[in-house]
Structure 1
Amino acid sequence: MHQNDISLQIKQAIQASDFDRAIDLAEEQVNSVPTEKKAEYLYLKAVAQRLSKNAQMATKTLDQLLELKPDHGRGYQEQGYCFIAMSLPDKAAASFYQATRFNPALLTSWQQLQQYYAQSNNTAALKIASEQCRFLQQLDRPLSGAMDLMYEGQLHKAEQVCRQYLQKNKHHCEAMMLLAEIGIRLKAYHDAEFLLESCAELYPDEPRAVQAYQSLLLKLGKFPKALEVIQKQKRAGASDRKLDLALASALAGVGESEQAISTYQQILSDKQDQPGVWLALGHVYKSAGQLEKAIDAYHQAARFRPEFGDAYWSLANTKTYTFSESTIATMYDNVQRENTHLEDRIHLYFALGKAYEDSGNTASAFACYSKGNQLKSRTLDLDIRRVERAMVSQQEACTASLFSETVGHMAPDPIFIVGLPRAGSTLLEQILASHSQVDGTMELHDILGIASRISGQKTSYPYNLETLTDEQCRQLGELYIRQTKAYRKGAPYFIDKMPNNFIHIGLIKRILPNAKIIDARRDAFACCFSGFKQLFADGQEFTYSLETIGRYYKRYVSLMEHWHQVLPGQILTVQHEDVLDDLEGQVRRMLDYLELPFESGCMNYHKTKRAIKTPSSEQVRQPIFQTGRHQYKPFIPYLEPLFEALGKKPEDS
């Protein structure tokens, strides 16, 4: 029987008050379906148990569910109902609060919180809950249903409902914003940007529409455009904390670090107790190379909110900070507390992993890295098979014949540094950005955006690369050069360091045939383990499991071999370990490939002053060092899933 039919049977049994049958059916499924499909049946089982007056047993089932899916909003809501049945109002309120964090569309959870806050005279929280209740109650039912589906991870169903609503209610502001948010979660960024830009133009007096648009621009790294949108609001007389925060973020994005710092300081001058602002200020200090000030800002964030996981992770993520015993104890206590938020727990586990690793406690370090990765991966919807298929499709679509004729925009300006994260690409960028003719920028989203832009055509991407006309290729190349101009400082060449662009080398060479491409390669074990212990701000979902990161690395190597075959001599592979062993030799080799004269500044790359926004920012401000080369070796006993995925062990290499 199809699983949808079984789910329907369980729901019908619950509606008929046949709770024993519902529990038995759900239990059968829990014991037979794969782990990733258990969540729905655990949830239904818990509902049936609570309704059969066995709330205590239901909470045990919910513990299983929330261990499996720690961001299951409805699971927390059900837990809240159980605690009400058990006469535990404070615990119930905590559960309803968690439910609204993971699924803000759960009206009944907000109503329960509204009642609780009214009884406890928490006026600030009551105001927020009441506003959210009013917002959800005034939404048309299809929109609230689509919102609920989105937060529960059923993105395609949510999109379908939303599009059907928009067909009947063209240009409905709330529906357009919701469809854009669904698009962002589906990584259809081009569609989402178009929707929000249209929404902001249609509804200039709706601040949420403009805020959503500028937030997406900031997320996509389109800082110049975001700055333009923000400054337009400023000129119109708009002034509030959210707008000032967006302004600071945009200023930092376009490299105006001092102005960004000044803006954050001004926001903090009104009120010091703003841990999120301290964190953002720390990030700007760090990218600008002011490490001591960054560390102080992160400490301030933790001082105002002691369980703030991101503050501790940001300290760990400097790669040079050493935690004190007392701070480690504070982090450990916070990560164990029941009411610590999921995002804080994830950050704390990664920070603890780094702290224990630095102190030589390998077993505790790996346990923390492992737990942090488990929690993070359970909040993601990664199918590594789909990712592998996407890379295979590039090999199928991009044969040598695709590049037999030179088309596209002939600008020689871009230098793409591609590869896996934590493979040494920031070091290569810093070396090359120390050359007088090369601008360093950041990890630009523009190629990913162009890939998204052409994905909706009749023939799917990348197979449609063959059908792009010469004129279309030229226009797309010009679009890339135009969009990236704002990140440049006037040098004839510039670097785009988005590592994931290795997947899109076929697209790059179709639209920018004279672009240079450097593949930053690192030893498989070192690269994969370094990725596994890194908590990324966004993306890189494949890194949160030893198996998936191993499979991804293996497929990346296969795809790069394909690019070398169909684009012979056009890609330079730079092995990280070779750079460590022979800096000058590799510097000269890269400059020869780029057809640039040797400059001694490239050898003294650590003295170059520029904003760097990747985790390696402090490491590349130091001369070459070897300490990171074999960091995985003490962890070898724990890395068997990685070795299996790679198909080799360290002793084999």
Structure 2
Amino acid sequence: MSDPNQSRLNEAKKALMQSQFEQAISICNQILSDRSDSNSEKESLYLIAVALRMAQQPRDALHTLDKLLQRFPDYGRGFQEQGYCWKALGDERNMATAFYRATRFNPTLLPAWRELVQFYTKTGNQQALNVASQHIQHLSALPKPLIGAMDLLHEGQLHKAEQVCRSYLQANKHHPDAMMLLAEIGLQLKVYHDAEFLLESCVALYPKNEPALVAYQSLLNKLGKFPVAAKLARKRVADNPDNAQAKITLAFALVGVGELDEALALYQDLLSQNAQRHGLWVQYGHALKAQGQTDDAINAYEKAVHIAADYGDAYWSLANTKTYRFTESMVSQMQALVSDDSTSLDDKIHVCFALGKAYEDVKQFQQAFHFYQQGNSLKNKTLNFDISRTERALTEQAQACTAELFADKAENVGCQAPDPIFIVGLPRAGSTLLEQILASHSMVDGTMELHDILGIASGLSQQQKAYPHNLTDLTDEQCAKLGEQYIQQTQAYRQGAPFFIDKMPNNFVHIGLIKRILPKAKIIDARRDPMACCFSGFKQLFADGQEFSYALEDIGRYYRAYEKLMAHWQSVLPGQILTVQHENVINDLEGEVKRILDFCGLPFEQACVDFYQTKRVIKTPSSEQVRQPIYRSGMTQWEGFSEYLSPLKQALQI
């Protein structure tokens, strides 16, 4: 079935090519008035801007582009058009800024790169000229179909990009650039299993291809496969001891597996060779924070700010210690960055969240909410998240995983290892505290938010019958094999205790899978007051995922869908999931500790009550809180923002 909007857009493009600018603008305005979908809205605004510029009306074009880029702040082609408008007006500074932004969001835009080369040549910026020239050289060497697919990828047309890339690979089997590009598309589509297979194959076929090695390493780290990532990075460093990038990825992977002393030594060595690398200071700070050296971590983040005053991640890293307090001068500095049009989108998002925290700390709730809202709104515009799609996916889990699936012999199917203790729920629900309590027990290893169950689910999604509906078709042997795979993959994160914790919150979606392959695993649902939990998530800029958390209505609907699915799991798996209410832990710590240990079949140990004395690697935002005794201040933090939270209250039906 043809898309009527696309037909009209093609008509507008034809009019544009024939210099019929008013007709092109009229067609696009009609599309916009019909409440078009977001892609049609984006392309219509873009074509109007192009038509206005070509009709010698660059200022009017810029007004249209302001609307376009406010709505779609990561649209590279929109910034390229903005560059042409500023060029027409003779404003070279704004022109160069716009073309630079265009290449940041869409590195395939050769015209923007060529304009930058001219500008850098004229201004004598040799370093920038070298970078731009290298990009042009790289793009010029690529086959045209791959450049087209890359362009589609960066403009958000993922399925079209996939079609073009697959078509090219059919004719040019095992082309390394095509394999890497298809893996990147898979990553964007969250088909992680396919992306990993492609990059693993690419590295096997081309073991000396540095871009492939870097991409594979990056994906392994993203998926939390730190043991494999560390092994690969060690080989890269052994093959080339001067490869600083390989050393950086090795240090990152070592933090992932908890080898912090070696990781910190690597970071220190790298910084001794180049102390001006602001991003490296932030990574070093993260490693220090994970080890509990908060003061040293703060010093590292502050050095990053000193080196690069516009580096948003450094400000957010300071805020994300949860204990840092910004000075008035730093707040003014951050406000200036948010107001500055030349601040990159990513930096602006990070700074907005940091400013929200800064104002919340001094109880200026209106200002704090303004910046939290701005940061969330900007982040949300860069995502293609649909809460309805997520709600349907959670409903499908309940439909596929009926009581019959777990009846009778189900407990004897799968891997019988009792080792894993899964802590699930929503982010910011108190799961790190529960993990710290359990990890303080002599028989339990704390690990981190492991990606292995998500990886197994992703693998099952590639089969002919869709996951989770194919869980009923798994044979006893397949269930046992998948459970053993999980136990084997997670071995590298353990320190030798009989039991270990996997606290990936999103595993609540996959409890049906967990109980099919690991029937003796313990599952704890970390629950928190919905307003407190949801608003805490709204204030948090997550490193990756949790896309539901960037709009108040979305996060409220997600919480309700989570509650509904957990009620289903409780009904089909009676007695097999322990719900632990965060507020109860705060009000009766010892009583809840005993209850948790009883559920896990563990003897009582006082160390679990004195959890804050336990020294271990903690990588979540709550790391500093769980290194202190229980405190109550977080229970009602949302109340200062109550008047601004109507969309959340409505979604939660409060």
Normalising by the smaller structure, the TM-score range is: over 0.9
> For residue 12 of structure 1, what is the amino acid of its counterpart?
K
Structure-2 residue corresponding to 1:18: 20
Contact 2:312 2:350 in 1 (8 A): yes
> For residue 604 of structure 2, what is the amino acid of its counterpart?
F
Instruction: Find the aligned partners of 2:25 and 2:49 in 1 and give their Cα distance.
Output: 8
Instruction: Find the aligned partners of 2:483 and 2:340 in 1 and give their Cα distance.
Output: 52
Structure-2 residue corresponding to 1:555: 561
**Aligned residue runs from structure 1 range 416-431, under 5 A:** 416-431=422-437
- Secondary structure in structure 2 of the residue aligned to 1:629: helix
Identity of aligned residues (%): 58
Structure 1 position 312 matched with structure 2 position 318: no
- Secondary structure in structure 2 of the residue aligned to 1:574: strand
Instruction: Find the aligned partners of 1:309 and 1:208 in 2 and give their Cα distance.
Output: 27
Which deviates more from structure 2 when the two are superposed, residues 403-412 or residues 293-302?
403-412
Deviations 1:150-197 (A, max 9, x none): 011111111111111111100000000000011111111111111111
Structure-2 residue corresponding to 1:111: 114
Instruction: Find the aligned partners of 1:202 and 1:111 in 2 and give their Cα distance.
Output: 34
Deviations 1:405-448 (A, max 9, x none): 32111110000000000000000000000000000000000000
Structure-2 residue corresponding to 1:566: 572
> For residue 29 of structure 1, what is the amino acid of its counterpart?
I
**Aligned residue runs from structure 1 range 404-423, under 5 A:** 404=407, 405-406=409-410, 407-423=413-429
Structure-1 residue corresponding to 2:300: 297
**Aligned residue runs from structure 1 range 428-447, under 5 A:** 428-447=434-453
Q: Select which of 396, 400, 405 maps to 2:403.
A: 400
Q: Select which of 487, 496, 511 maps to 1:490.
A: 496
CA deviation after TM superposition for structure 1 residue 34, in Å: 4.9
Which deviates more from structure 2 when the two are superposed, residues 298-307 or residues 264-273?
264-273
CA deviation after TM superposition for structure 1 residue 204, in Å: 1.2
Structure-1 residue corresponding to 2:44: 41
Structure-2 residue corresponding to 1:585: 591
Q: Select which of 575, 578, 586 maps to 2:581.
A: 575
CA deviation after TM superposition for structure 1 residue 256, in Å: 1.1
- Secondary structure in structure 2 of the residue aligned to 1:412: coil
Contact 2:76 2:104 in 1 (8 A): yes
> For residue 24 of structure 1, what is the amino acid of its counterpart?
S
Q: Select which of 344, 349, 353 maps to 2:352.
A: 349
Q: Select which of 473, 477, 484 maps to 1:478.
A: 484
Q: Select which of 56, 59, 63 maps to 2:62.
A: 59
CA RMSD in angstroms comes to 0.9
CA deviation after TM superposition for structure 1 residue 640, in Å: 0.5
Structure-2 residue corresponding to 1:373: 376
CA deviation after TM superposition for structure 1 residue 101, in Å: 0.5
- Runs of 4 or more above 6 Å deviation: none
Structure-2 residue corresponding to 1:30: 32
Instruction: Find the aligned partners of 2:203 and 2:615 in 1 and give their Cα distance.
Output: 37
Structure 1 position 385 matched with structure 2 position 388: yes
Structure-2 residue corresponding to 1:651: none
Structure-2 residue corresponding to 1:596: 602
Q: Which runs of 5+ in 1 are unaligned?
A: 649-653
Contact 2:237 2:243 in 1 (8 A): no
Structure 1 position 646 matched with structure 2 position 644: no
Instruction: Find the aligned partners of 1:562 and 1:275 in 2 and give their Cα distance.
Output: 47
Against the structure 1 CA distance between its residues 633 and 34, is the aligned structure 2 distance closer, same or farther, given a 3 Å change threshold?
farther
Against the structure 1 CA distance between its residues 349 and 35, is the aligned structure 2 distance closer, same or farther, given a 3 Å change threshold?
farther
Against the structure 1 CA distance between its residues 209 and 11, is the aligned structure 2 distance closer, same or farther, given a 3 Å change threshold?
same
Structure 1 position 149 matched with structure 2 position 155: no
CA deviation after TM superposition for structure 1 residue 266, in Å: 0.8
CA deviation after TM superposition for structure 1 residue 35, in Å: 7.0
> For residue 325 of structure 1, what is the amino acid of its counterpart?
E
Deviations 1:489-522 (A, max 9, x none): 0000000010000000000000101010000000
Which deviates more from structure 2 when the two are superposed, residues 218-227 or residues 438-447?
218-227
Instruction: Find the aligned partners of 2:231 and 2:513 in 1 and give their Cα distance.
Output: 29
Which deviates more from structure 2 when the two are superposed, residues 293-302 or residues 118-127?
118-127
Which deviates more from structure 2 when the two are superposed, residues 205-214 or residues 36-45?
36-45
CA deviation after TM superposition for structure 1 residue 30, in Å: 2.2
Structure-2 residue corresponding to 1:5: 7
Instruction: Find the aligned partners of 1:72 and 1:532 in 2 and give their Cα distance.
Output: 24
Q: Select which of 277, 280, 293 maps to 1:277.
A: 280
Instruction: Find the aligned partners of 2:297 and 2:447 in 1 and give their Cα distance.
Output: 21
Deviations 1:206-230 (A, max 9, x none): 1111111111111111111011111
Instruction: Find the aligned partners of 1:375 and 1:572 in 2 and give their Cα distance.
Output: 37
Q: Select which of 513, 520, 528 maps to 2:534.
A: 528
Against the structure 1 CA distance between its residues 143 and 46, is the aligned structure 2 distance closer, same or farther, given a 3 Å change threshold?
same
Instruction: Find the aligned partners of 2:532 and 2:341 in 1 and give their Cα distance.
Output: 34
Contact 2:316 2:351 in 1 (8 A): yes
Structure 1 position 463 matched with structure 2 position 494: no
Deviations 1:359-412 (A, max 9, x none): 110100000000000000000000111111000000100000111132111110
- Secondary structure in structure 2 of the residue aligned to 1:427: helix
Deviations 1:528-580 (A, max 9, x none): 00000110000000000000000000000000000000000000000000000
> For residue 72 of structure 1, what is the amino acid of its counterpart?
Y
CA deviation after TM superposition for structure 1 residue 123, in Å: 1.0
**Aligned residue runs from structure 1 range 537-556, under 5 A:** 537-556=543-562
Instruction: Find the aligned partners of 1:233 and 1:368 in 2 and give their Cα distance.
Output: 42
CA deviation after TM superposition for structure 1 residue 27, in Å: 1.6
CA deviation after TM superposition for structure 1 residue 458, in Å: 1.2
Q: Select which of 252, 256, 262 maps to 1:253.
A: 256
> For residue 252 of structure 1, what is the amino acid of its counterpart?
V
Equivalences, count: 648
CA deviation after TM superposition for structure 1 residue 129, in Å: 0.6
CA deviation after TM superposition for structure 1 residue 36, in Å: 3.2
Structure 1 position 507 matched with structure 2 position 513: yes
- Secondary structure in structure 2 of the residue aligned to 1:315: helix
Structure 1 position 130 matched with structure 2 position 136: no
Q: Which runs of 5+ in 2 are unaligned?
A: none
Structure-1 residue corresponding to 2:77: 74
Deviations 1:443-488 (A, max 9, x none): 0000000000010111101000011111111111011001000000
Contact 2:184 2:195 in 1 (8 A): yes
- Secondary structure in structure 1 of the residue aligned to 2:59: helix
> For residue 531 of structure 1, what is the amino acid of its counterpart?
G
CA deviation after TM superposition for structure 1 residue 327, in Å: 1.0
- Secondary structure in structure 2 of the residue aligned to 1:187: coil
Which deviates more from structure 2 when the two are superposed, residues 180-189 or residues 425-434?
180-189
Instruction: Find the aligned partners of 2:259 and 2:483 in 1 and give their Cα distance.
Output: 27
Instruction: Find the aligned partners of 1:480 and 1:105 in 2 and give their Cα distance.
Output: 39
- Secondary structure in structure 2 of the residue aligned to 1:212: helix
Structure 1 position 626 matched with structure 2 position 626: no
Instruction: Find the aligned partners of 2:201 and 2:447 in 1 and give their Cα distance.
Output: 29
Structure 1 length-normalised TM:
0.98
Instruction: Find the aligned partners of 1:31 and 1:604 in 2 and give their Cα distance.
Output: 62
Instruction: Find the aligned partners of 1:233 and 1:356 in 2 and give their Cα distance.
Output: 45
Instruction: Find the aligned partners of 2:241 and 2:414 in 1 and give their Cα distance.
Output: 42
CA deviation after TM superposition for structure 1 residue 239, in Å: 2.5
Structure-2 residue corresponding to 1:193: 196
- Secondary structure in structure 2 of the residue aligned to 1:53: coil
Structure-2 residue corresponding to 1:451: 457
